[in-house]
Amino acid sequence: MKRSWLVGVMAALVAGLFLIPNLWAVDAPKGDIMLKAPAGVKAKKAPVKFSHTGHAAFDCTKCHHTWDGKAAIKKCTDAGCHDIYKAKEKQKKDIKYYYKAYHDMCMKGCHTDLKKAGKKTGPTACNGCHPKK
């Protein structure tokens, strides 16, 4: 009697460990996402096809760098994040400028570094991400 009670408690604990975090977890989008210029910006380049699944080997927080692992994931260009959409000259080097954030993180901060390290990676040339219209 006593033993089965203990087993029950243990099983509930183990289930809790695995199930509860899963209820909080946010599911990653499957397949491709189109990354477009924010509303109000007249895009000069074609939107960028980003394979979310193709980046599954990386930690979520490498890209979603403010995510606490529980709350809804914000968009890069949400208010309070990289929300300068039309930069004045002196804002062009501000990481809040969405253009700089994307290029510094995806291109300079990742693809170029991996390429330099001789590793397989995504595009580093403009047309690799923004196909010719």
Could you say whether residue 130 binds ligand HEC (CB under 6 A)? yes
Span 87-126, contacts to ligand HEC by CB under 6 A: 99, 102-103, 106-107, 111, 122-126
> Residue 76 corresponds to which tokens in the numbers above?
């890069």
Q: How far apart, in Å, do the first and last CA atoms of the chain sit?
A: 73
Looking at 6, 58, 91, 116, which residue binds ligand HEC (CB under 6 A)?
58
Residue in the block written with tokens 């995504």: 122
| Contacts for 8 with CB less than 8 Å, ≥ 6 apart | none
Residue of the chain from 10, 15, 26, 95 that contacts ligand HEC (CB under 6 A): 26
Q: SS3 of 125, please?
A: coil
- Contact positions vs ligand HEC (CB under 6 A): 26, 28-29, 33, 35-37, 43-45, 47-48, 50, 52, 55, 58, 60, 62-64, 73, 75-77, 99, 102-103, 106-107, 111, 122-126, 128-130
